[in-house]
Chains A and B, each alone.
Chain A
Amino acid sequence: EVQLVESGGDLVQPGGSLRLSCAASGFSFSSYAMSWVRQTPGKGLEWVSTISASGGSTYYADSVKGRFTISRDNSKNTLYLQMNSLRAEDTAIYYCAKGSGSHMRIFDDWGQGTLVTVSS
């Protein structure tokens, strides 16, 4: 059974930094692209970033480009999202999502999410 467990969400001040982690189990982590998707009541679901299976390719939403960095450690079966220069509009539940074998952006498994709140 696929399990994705996010951690690292917290209350942080504007301009601050946070690193999210997603521990994966139940599948061959190094064989699949992984993504972060966030959700807010106002903006709904928003794709944040994707990393290829090997980690060699990364993709970002314009809203986070230059501030967020996605990475993975295939030896630890863990996905990361380093979030810098945080803004109030980054407040959301952040989900890690596994890409399917058919296409990297068909999200066939999701974690339970971790809440990031950016506020002074």
Chain B
Amino acid sequence: DIVMTQSPDSLAVSLGERATITCKSSQSVLYSSNNKNYLTWYQQKPGQPPKLLIYWASTRESGVPDRFSGSGSGTDFTLTISSLQAEDVAVYYCQQYYTTPPTFGQGTKVEIK
């Protein structure tokens, strides 16, 4: 199974400041035939299910604010919140869908400083 490792486990950022979360996969999730990275990001607020933010590593889901962006390729990926808002307090997960089973990172908790 591909192991997804996120860092940090938690971070506190001031309102309006940048938040950066990294996700590392134990093997590449880049499919060479279509040059796509099989990597998603989800946001989960307390008491709610996960919500899809980003897929194909950098494609924003419809309706997701453009302060959320994804980048990276191969084994190293980043989720950036360019200007943290109060409503962004949540746990963020990466997930690979390159192989079965699809696997998730352990989550990164984002709080307000």
Residues of A within 8 A of B (CB): 44-47, 59, 61-62, 95, 100, 102-103, 105-113
Known: A100-B55, A106-B55, A107-B50. A44 touches B107 (CB 8 A): yes
Q: What sequence of 0s and 1s flags, for each residue 88-107 of chain B, a beta carbon within 8 Å of any chain A beta carbon?
A: 00000101010011111111
In the complex, the answer to whether B93 meets A45 with C-beta atoms within 8 Å is yes
**Interface bracket on B:** 20 to 34
| Nearest-Cβ distance from residue B81 to partner chain A, whole angstroms | 20
Q: CB within 8 Å of A: which residues of B?
A: 38, 40, 42, 48-52, 55-56, 61, 93, 95, 97, 100-107
Q: Chain A residues near B49: list those with CB within 8 A.
A: 95, 110-113
Contacts of A45 in B (CB 8 A): 50, 93, 95, 104, 107
- Given A103-B38, A106-B40: A47 and B101 interface contact (C-beta under 8 Å): yes
Partner of B52, one of A46, A59, A108: A108
User: If the complex has contacts A44-B107, A45-B93, are A61 and B101 also in contact, measured as CB distance less than 8 A?
Assistant: yes
Task: Knowing that A105-B102, A109-B52 touch, tell me 5 more A-B residue pairs with CB under 8 angstroms.
Answer: A44-B105, A44-B107, A47-B102, A100-B55, A102-B56
Bound CA–CA A111/B40 (angstroms): 18
The residue on A at minimum CB distance from B107 is A44
List of A residues within 8 angstroms of B38 by Cβ: 103
6 contacts between A and B (CB under 8 A): A44-B104, A45-B95, A47-B104, A59-B100, A105-B102, A110-B51
Q: Are A47 and B103 in contact (CB under 8 A)?
A: yes
Residues of A within 8 A of B42 (CB): 107
- Least CB distance from B111 to A in Å reads 18
Closest residue of chain B to A46 (Cβ to Cβ) is B104
Kindly provide the distance from the CB of A83 to the nearest chain B CB, expressed in whole angstroms: 17
Collect the chain B residues with CB atoms within 8 Å of residue A62's CB.
Answer: 101
